[in-house]
Amino acid sequence: MELLIVRDRRIDYDGSAIRSHWAYRNFGLLGNSLVVFRGSCNVKIEEMVDIEDLRLQNEIKSDDMVHYIIEIFDFVNPLFASTLQKLFIAKLCEVLSEYGIKTERKGDDIYVNGKKLSISIATISPVSVKIHIGINVEARGVPEGVDAIGLRELGITDVEEFMERTGRAIVEEFNKVKKDSLKVRWVQ
Amino acid sequence: MELLIVRDRRIDYDGSAIRSHWAYRNFGLLGNSLVVFRGSCNVKIEEMVDIEDLRLQNEIKSDDMVHYIIEIFDFVNPLFASTLQKLFIAKLCEVLSEYGIKTERKGDDIYVNGKKLSISIATISPVSVKIHIGINVEARGVPEGVDAIGLRELGITDVEEFMERTGRAIVEEFNKVKKDSLKVRWVQ
Amino acid sequence: MELLIVRDRRIDYDGSAIRSHWAYRNFGLLGNSLVVFRGSCNVKIEEMVDIEDLRLQNEIKSDDMVHYIIEIFDFVNPLFASTLQKLFIAKLCEVLSEYGIKTERKGDDIYVNGKKLSISIATISPVSVKIHIGINVEARGVPEGVDAIGLRELGITDVEEFMERTGRAIVEEFNKVKKDSLKVRWVQ
Amino acid sequence: MELLIVRDRRIDYDGSAIRSHWAYRNFGLLGNSLVVFRGSCNVKIEEMVDIEDLRLQNEIKSDDMVHYIIEIFDFVNPLFASTLQKLFIAKLCEVLSEYGIKTERKGDDIYVNGKKLSISIATISPVSVKIHIGINVEARGVPEGVDAIGLRELGITDVEEFMERTGRAIVEEFNKVKKDSLKVRWVQ
Amino acid sequence: MELLIVRDRRIDYDGSAIRSHWAYRNFGLLGNSLVVFRGSCNVKIEEMVDIEDLRLQNEIKSDDMVHYIIEIFDFVNPLFASTLQKLFIAKLCEVLSEYGIKTERKGDDIYVNGKKLSISIATISPVSVKIHIGINVEARGVPEGVDAIGLRELGITDVEEFMERTGRAIVEEFNKVKKDSLKVRWVQ
Amino acid sequence: MELLIVRDRRIDYDGSAIRSHWAYRNFGLLGNSLVVFRGSCNVKIEEMVDIEDLRLQNEIKSDDMVHYIIEIFDFVNPLFASTLQKLFIAKLCEVLSEYGIKTERKGDDIYVNGKKLSISIATISPVSVKIHIGINVEARGVPEGVDAIGLRELGITDVEEFMERTGRAIVEEFNKVKKDSLKVRWVQ
């Protein structure tokens, strides 16, 4: 799984990065990849993936987020996508714990003191599993009614270091998952 | 996903429960299931699943463990099995955190203060994903050289309550994973 | 498999209900579902699924039909879709037989006395199997040259009761199919 | 789908024909096949596929049956196996109806006047879908407590003609299912 | 696998033939098929499949080519598509060798004396594997900077005979591949 | 894809190396792998994979062969296995051509001047694609009636160099196949 941390510029997330081969088209990353970048979030209606959001006409936005775009080509299945997403979210909570931050994970949402730190979606394209995770840098520009929190409020000010540490953690987790899947015999 | 907590008796784990349809054959549980039970652990060579263990002639044993046997029929793939396993292990760590216990997860192993609390394996049969997780109740009867710890040392003495709480937590996690997989549209 | 009988209003079928997640988007039904509703049928060219119809420029229409929209997420394969469709059509014939009506099934078509009672299509989206079945309430508004028949001509005047009875029958059939698939061991 | 009607000799069914490649090993039939033969039925415990039967220690036997062994290689999935099985059973009922016999199908069982005419099982091997259907020629030698009926009691005395007619009907059904699966476009 | 050699007219290739069911929509070919035709090649940007070409803004064109459009429905996977493509290219080299022409295959490209004879792409639609191969009849109208060669320069002037011979060779190869896949038992 | 050339010792092939995880169990190679070794060949009846051989009671043996054992975990399908096998055989022919040897490939067999140089089988285990290829070093000890030839007769005396060159060629071919599968967009 290739890891790319985009450090030199901001990329605003409008939802289109959830499409297949985004990492290859934009960065030449072939195969499984994680791209971590920073920018605002404002998902266009036509790019919304969660049909519940569409039905409720939810807004998905935030002024400043760390974004993770994951694409896995090993095989294509929505239940696998959803499982992988929850595992990566759990991993992020574990890294936050190393920062001394106590989180609560509810499925694919991360809360700190009852406040929402993250958004996430997992789905499939016809060729890949695609996952987006966004973590608030600051709790600004979020939809009305959402009680949000960001990394700064939690004392994480070196955002680039956070991007790198979490990026590496997710890649290591996936590599471990894959390695383990290869060293077991099947059972009757 | 059906949940069965075996309360009335001990079941010693020799590795054969990792085979397909064990829960249906023994308890009549049809479809996805989690059976939680308590008993010793001593995996017979011919039931060992981790080929690394076989190559190193590792022993897998403990005098008293809480065991989780999970079978998922949705689809059959070793990478999915491995991902699901890590997620369930992460969930167990989250429940332990509710008990006030700080854990460290390394892939599918749970450590507390550098001591090993658990064992686990995930694989496939031709019809299902199968996962075994074992958590030491006491750190007795483990292989030489393994620095182990058990629930009792961690202050968890109501083992049955622990079995129930963790059992429900894993089932809820899986149900959330599955529900989320159904409510997203696919992407281009 | 969730069953929804739409009783309070008519829904005209233009073919768009064959798309994935139609039942979730419109009725909040998550996962496998069958929606039974009543309305006219007039499939737009761009929604036609049978390429043979497209090649022959067939019209697919009827003034008043009972419609069944089925979506199955268990796995995605056109041969499975086609098999499931034929089974559901056979089941509908069996229910009609309980009404005292002798039918002839030709693949996915139901005939009574050589007259066409139904239309049907089965296909896949990238996430699901989708099946549409339409049964004429009256043989009106059908394409020229088609010798059609409807439920009224067959003496079935309580259409709502028919919708309910057939809807339940299809759901029971699928549940039986699924249950049976879980209780068999694999063979060498 | 190749069809072979074994006319020249009896083959007793002990359950081993449910294994993969039985038709190729014994008759040189390559790929999808249906073999129809006649003989007694007495399934050995170690060949039983229905775990419910194993748990209840059911006997599966009959003195004289028409047997159908189906193997499909298109893809391997227990839900597909179970669906295909029910469709073939429904087809057999339709052929029986042409003989003037009114049947009741309950899942994969055929009843006539409340008496059991058939047995069936559907499962997978690692390479194929396998289905066995057995139809009593005479209701003799069946397990105690089973109220059985046979073809003779129903007035079907030309068993070979029945084998041929039903064999062809199943093959035609499968070919239609497959053909239809190829002529539909996928939907969004 | 059906083979169609289009002899009576030219078909210019603009890339749209790579879509699913092209052979069925245009020629009524149901299921696996190979259509061989002759015409110019000029792939529109919106039909380009190789993302590397899109990124580099490559042109894909030639004035006169023999085209092969292959569609396989057996199962849908990009790695299988890519493997099949390389095998068919290797087969074309073997046929060229029968003409006395020494080729060099580099993945999916055919070279003669260091000059490029062919283009090719393999991908999937949601229902099928799709492969396009184009072989220059003359090295005219190719993109600047490409050192191309054509069948005429190699002494193959009876293009129709070449279309037939190679078309039959590819179909035979696929049929052999499929047959062999059916006659092997699975292993532990 | 990992490549291991066993240089320091001979390994006689009795067919058991065709089982899953042979390379991991014996050499610690995790994931996709190719092991090239040298030794006699004498396949035990119970290890025979080609059912045609079993039916005809063919012998599979040779005194001295170069063996290739390939295991691919990407996905498990007999048609993919058979395709990959033919491609690797074609690749071996291309390498032999670099040695100046003109071969004829018939499916998975290599002939030189009408004499058989190789044997091969491709199948699946429940977790992997498995392929064996054997190339005669000398045409000795082969079954009666087989007109065989070996590398020595063809002038290839540096067998170890041949093992390395062909081993690397197969790995490069697979890597190219895989890389290409990742850089194409899907089509409608």
Inter-chain residue contact F54 with D25, CB threshold 8 Å? yes
A-chain CB neighbours of C73 within 8 Å are: 78
Distance from CA of C11 to the nearest CA of B (A): 23
Residue D67's SS3 state is strand
Return the residue of B nearest to C21 by Cα: B185
> CA quadruple C48, C169, D177, D159: dihedral positive or negative?
negative
Interchain contact, B187 vs A105, CB within 8 Å: no
Do residues F183 and A30 lie in contact, with contact meaning Cβ atoms separated by under 8 Å?
A: yes
Tallying the residues shown for chain B, one arrives at: 188
Question: Does C65 have pLDDT greater than 90?
Answer: yes
Which carries the bigger pLDDT value, residue F69 or residue E54?
F69
Residues of C in contact with B179 (CB under 8 A): 30
What chains are in contact with F, requiring at least 3 Cβ pairs below 8 Å? A, B, D, E
Contact flag C186-B75 (C-beta cutoff 8 Å):
no
Residue F177: pLDDT band (50, 70, 90) is very high
Count CB atoms within 10 A of the CB of residue E44: 10
- Are A185 and F21 an interchain contact pair (Cβ–Cβ within 8 Å)? yes
Residue stretches of chain E with pLDDT short of 50:
none
C48 — pLDDT class (breaks 50, 70, 90): very high
Q: Look at residue C67 in the predicted model and tell me its pLDDT.
A: 98
- Check D20 against C82: CB less than 8 A apart: no
Query: In the structure, what pLDDT confidence band is assigned to residue F57 with cuts at 50, 70 and 90?
Result: confident
Contact state of F25 with B126 under an 8 Å Cβ cutoff: no
Q: What is the mean pLDDT of chain D?
A: 96
Global pTM value: 0.96
Residues of A in contact with F24 (CB under 8 A): 182-183
Q: What is the mean pLDDT of residues B116-141?
A: 97
Chain E residue at shortest CA distance from A20:
E51
- Phi then psi for residue D136, to 5 deg, are -60, 130
Q: Give the distance, in angstroms, between the CA of residue B8 and the centroid of all CA atoms in the same chain.
A: 20
Question: Residues with Cβ < 8 Å from F121, sequence gap 6 or more?
Answer: E184, F18, F49, F50, F85, F108, F131, F132
Model confidence over D100-116: pLDDT tens digits? 999 999 999 999 999 99
pLDDT of B174 higher than 90 = yes
The fraction of chain B above a pLDDT of 70, given in percent, is: 100
The helix (run of H) or strand (run of E) holding residue A65 is strand A61-72
Residue closest to C176 by CA, chosen among D108, D135, D87, B28? D108
Find chain D residues with C-beta within 8 A of C23's C-beta: none
C71, C185, C187, best to mutate vs chain B, most B CBs in 10 Å: C185
Q: Look at C87 and D87 and tell me if their CB atoms are within 8 Å.
A: yes
Instruction: Check CB contact under 8 Å for D73 and E182.
Output: yes
- The 3-state DSSP class for residue A36 equals strand
Paired with C66 in beta bridges are C38, C135
Closest-CA distance of chain C to residue A131, Å: 16
Tell me the average pLDDT across F132-160.
96
If interface means Cβ-Cβ distance under 8 Å, which residues of chain A face chain E? 21, 24-25, 28, 73, 126-127
What average pLDDT score do residues A41-60 get?
Answer: 91
Distance in Å, alpha carbon of A166 to nearest chain B alpha carbon: 15
pLDDT category of residue B37 using cuts at 50, 70 and 90? very high
Q: Subunits touching D (CB < 8 Å, at least 3 pairs)?
A: B, C, E, F
- Which helix (H) or strand (E) segment holds residue C65: the answer is strand C61-72
Angstrom distance (rounded) from CA C171 to CA C174: 5
Q: What rounded mean pLDDT belongs to chain B? A: 96
Q: What distance in Å separates the CA atoms of residue F60 and residue F42, rounded to the nearest whole number?
A: 6
* Chains in contact with chain A (at least 3 beta-carbon pairs closer than 8 A): B, C, E, F
Mutate to test the interface with B, among F25, F26, F74, F187 (most CBs of B within 10 A): F25
Under a CB-based contact definition with an 8 Å cutoff, are residues F51 and F20 in contact? no
* pLDDT score for B57: 87
Model pLDDT, residue F106: 97
Taking the alpha carbons at both ends of chain B, their separation in whole angstroms is 31
- Tens-digit pLDDT profile for residues D7-33: 999 999 999 999 999 999 999 999 999
**What pLDDT band is residue D97 in, cutting at 50, 70 and 90?**
very high
> E186, D20: Cβ pair inside 8 Å?
yes
Average pLDDT over residues B102-111: 97
E33-42 vs E2-5, strand pairing mode: parallel
Cβ contact (<8 Å) for E186 and D125?
yes
The mean pLDDT value for C134-139 works out to: 96
Q: What percent of chain F has pLDDT over 70?
A: 100
A118, A86 contact by CB (below 8 A)? no
Q: Is the pLDDT of residue C170 over 90?
A: yes
Q: Is the pLDDT of residue A57 over 90?
A: no
CA–CA min distance B182, chain C (Å): 6
How high is the pLDDT of residue E57? Answer: 87
For chain E, the maximum distance between any two Cα atoms, rounded to a whole number of angstroms, is 54
Is A126 in Cβ contact with B180 (below 8 Å)? no
Q: Hey, are the CB atoms on F186 and A31 less than 8 Å from each other?
A: no
Residue of C181, C16, C183, C170 lying closest to C93 (CA atoms): C170
Q: Which among A54, A55, A78 is the nearest to C127, CB-wise?
A: A78
Could you say which of B21, B25, B126 has the minimum Cβ distance to residue D124? B126
> Of the candidates E25, E73, E126, which has its C-beta nearest C51's C-beta?
E25
Q: Which residues contact D178 (CB under 8 A, 6 or more apart)?
A: C79, C82, D74
Residues of D with CB below 8 A from F54's CB? 25
Cβ of B78 and A182 within 8 Å? yes
DSSP F107: T
Mean pLDDT of chain A: 96
